[in-house]
């Protein structure tokens, strides 16, 4: 099994390096964004409940939602700036996700390039005298040539799935923030008028 995997990597030849880089970047982005987009880091339940029930916000002050609340308290008379800041926070949540789209598109193409490169080498090894290849070498050469495409697809599929799941998560958070933003702006307006909490 290990030898088969090593043969697959060997078959990708020099293009194993860009494919490996794509793989590392993909794993880093998916792990980092999955950690950064957990619910407690974006909009903890206790903060959401405090906003909905118009209670003072307590707890972690380093979440996306509490950053928006703090900004709204600093700029109570500028709802446009608060909305722009909220959009900026949503944009920050999307950080790195476009690269997954690039990897999803590029990895199979790099793999296909490796396959074509390897097939050219296989066909150039055909004997000029007989015009026929050695069947064993030819078959193993073609099998190795397809290795790069296989690796490219193995990188592209998790990129597609991970990017889709994480993008959907950001969209859900953005929709929830839109709803909560009205309450946040109302609270900031009440405080600036002296009638808040």
Q: Strands (DSSP E) along the chain, which ranges?
A: none
CB 33 within 8 A of CB 167: no
- pTM, whole model, 2 decimals? 0.80
Q: Report the number of distinct structural domains present in the chain.
A: 1
Q: For residue 145, is it within any domain?
A: yes
Report if residue 81 sits inside a domain: yes
Which has more pLDDT, 98 or 10? 98
> Residue 18 in contact with residue 110, Cβ under 8 Å?
yes
Q: How confident is the model at residue 34 (pLDDT cuts 50, 70, 90)?
A: very high
pLDDT tens-digit map of 127-157: 666 666 666 667 767 777 788 888 899 999 9
Q: What is the pLDDT of residue 196?
A: 42
Examine residue 70 and state whether it is found in any structural domain, yes or no. yes
Measured between alpha carbons, how far is 185 from 194 in angstroms, rounded to an integer?
14
**φ/ψ (deg, to 5) at 70:** -60, -40
Instruction: Give the three-class secondary structure for 191.
Output: helix
Whether 150 is in a domain gets the answer yes
What pLDDT was estimated at residue 134? 67
Task: Output b/e per residue, 4-41; b: 16+ Cβ within 10 A.
Answer: eeeebeebbbebbebbeebbebbeebbeebeeebeeee
Which domain, by its residues, includes 160?
A: 2-192
User: Is residue 197 domain-resident?
Assistant: no
* Domain membership flag for residue 57: yes
Tokens 């409940």 locate to 49
CA atoms of 107 and 103, how far apart (whole Å): 6
Query: Per the domain annotation, does 108 fall within a domain?
Result: yes
Residue 93 lies in a domain: yes
CA–CA gap between residue 100 and residue 104 (Å, rounded): 6
């Amino acid at each position: 099994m290990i030898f088969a995997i090593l043969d697959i990597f060997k078959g990708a030849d020099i293009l194993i390096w860009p494919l490996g880089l794509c793989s590392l970047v993909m794993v880093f982005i998916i792990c980092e964004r999955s950690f950064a987009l957990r619910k407690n880091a974006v909009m903890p339940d206790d903060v959401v409940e405090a906003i909905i029930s118009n209670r003072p916000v307590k707890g972690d002050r380093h979440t996306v939602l509490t950053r928006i609340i703090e900004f709204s308290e600093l700029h109570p008379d500028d709802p446009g700036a608060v909305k722009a800041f909220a959009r900026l926070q949503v944009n920050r949540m999307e950080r790195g996700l476009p690269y997954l789209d690039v990897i999803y598109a590029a990895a199979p193409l790099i793999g296909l390039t490796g396959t074509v490169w390897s097939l050219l080498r296989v066909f150039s090894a055909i004997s000029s005298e007989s015009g026929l290849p050695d069947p064993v070498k030819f078959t193993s050469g073609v099998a190795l040539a397809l290795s790069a495409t296989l690796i490219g697809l193995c990188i592209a599929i998790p990129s597609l799935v991970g990017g889709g799941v994480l993008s959907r998560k950001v969209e859900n958070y953005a929709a929830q923030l839109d709803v909560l933003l009205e309450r946040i702006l109302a609270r900031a307006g009440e405080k600036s008028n002296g009638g808040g909490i």
